[in-house]
Structure 1
Amino acid sequence: MTTYLDFEKPIAELEGKIAELRHLPNSGDVDIAEEVMRLQDKAHKQIRATYAKLTPWQRVQVARHAERPHAQAYIDRLITDYTPLAGDRAFGEDAAIVGGMGRLQGRSIVVLGQQKGDDTESRIKHNFGMARPEGYRKAQRLMRLADRFKLPVLTLVDTPGAYPGIEAEARGQAEAIASSIETCLGLGVPLVSVVIGEGGSGGALAIASSDRVYMLENSVYSVITPEGCASILWRNNANAQDAAEAMKVTAADLKKLDVIDEVIPEPMGGAHRAPDETIDVVGRVVGEAIAELAKLDGDTLRQRRQDKFLAMGKKGL
């Protein structure tokens, strides 16, 4: 059953009518099949019109959609011969970050990503994609493993931010994030990142300081959530829409600012309406990027990656 967002109410009404008609017997007075086709055409037009003019806040809602494919779905569909790896070899396992080794289009790679979970039980298990220090240290371990064996790295970004709990801070959350960014910048192998949902703060940047950073069309990437920004500036979460507008969180805005490299289009109505199609498109884009970057030597990759992020800082001054 599809979950509809607030701004999708007209679409929900049309698709609800379509579902009702499909369960009615054909009386002969009305051609139900013809009416269904008419309503489907109207629904498609409504979806297209709605998604053509989404506000930044509406894109935040789409990026957080519960049915949007998460990191594990990408791994399951794109990566063959996948072997998951766990633990940071220092404290323990953090299920908020999943990853391992496998093959993408026949090429051996290391893949890792933030996994939000698909239902209540799995969301609690994966802590809604909010990693603790051991999660970022696991990410570092996997990236160093890739560097040692000369394997490209794919990271899938989908987190509201790093976990802000007391125990995480006590175990060195800030240091773990900083070290993860340092590890990204020091890799001598291709590193490609895709923001598939939310890219929240240092929790996202920790695994996205990459040669190529892509964003899905309806994903968002920001230094803080719109709600967090609103609570600081307006002392009220009700201004989250204003914050989303001002923060330039959308893929189109971030492409204009040269924070990301490219925007990956989503199927009409968002990734949650056609998850397999979305994942396949991401796979093609990532495969092409890795093939191109694999032609460069390690020193060149490191230097270009570091120059890229230093240039962002200089541009902002």
Structure 2
Amino acid sequence: MSETPRIALKAVTKRFGAETAVDAISLDIAAGEFCVLVGTSGCGKSTTLRMINRLIEHSDGEIHIDGQPIREIDPQRLRRRIGYAIQSTGLFPHWTVARNIALVPGLLKWSRARTRERVEELMDLLGLAPSEFADKYPAQLSGGQAQRVGVARALAADPEILLMDEPFGALDPITRESLQEELRRLQGRIRKTIVFVTHDMDEALKLADRLVVMRAGRIVQQGSPDELLAAPADDFVTSLLGGRDRGLKRAALTPVARLMRRVDAGLPVEPAVAPDEDLRLALSVMLWHRVECLAVVDGRGRVCGSLHLSDLMRAGI
């Protein structure tokens, strides 16, 4: 018998008057899965996200959390069980960072000691030293710091589910990439069920366990990033995934360790890549240095293997 999905959408439709925004979609999301919804503007991905915590009520079909229809759960109780992070952060400007993070624990009547411990734990986890940031106000934070506070607030009551709607969309590329890495590292530790909406395909491919492509309110294709890159369902999915650039995008999902050979005696230490870096980066280094072989160097600076262009070609990367 299969395990009950953490989130299940069953033929879910949302209409706004005569317009159908989401059209009879079905989707099961397992506990601990990082599911990313992608598609062009107006495809229904944000509407789908907001139906899960009843910020928008669905018109037809059913949405279940752990097997229970969400319409059987009081909306306020439901939202306190589900973390929610958005692009604008939604922080209260006249509240300190610590008070913003403590919002939901306060609504749940946690003790002061428990709340303070949880706030400090999350600030440490997200690289916000409590001694430096707890008493600051949102206007005193950079965009990346404010976004970290927004994520910390969404996680404060330790929800099983985290909904994220374009959370890094307003950030500059360097800060955005840093927070993507932070979220990947965080998910490796906390294993929440995350539903994440983005229009940035590189972001989606980097973060997703499962990628769900939507078009005109319907699900066109779903699967792992590698599955979609290897076999897109149609021209629309191919275009969304980058068209002829798909080979490089697929290389970005593959660590050097997967194709490296074990230690080659006498191999120069430079140019080099690390085992956990991706093949797209490795290919860029090869092109820049005009070489067909790279040293692979571990965290101690020791050569632990080699990466050859011929092996990338044979692997179809």
> Could you tell me the TM-score, scaled by structure 1's length?
0.29
Structure of greater Rg = 2
Name the structure, 1 or 2, with higher relative contact order (CA <8 Å, separation 6+).
2
> Could you tell me the TM-score, scaled by structure 2's length?
0.29
* Larger helix share, 1 or 2: 1
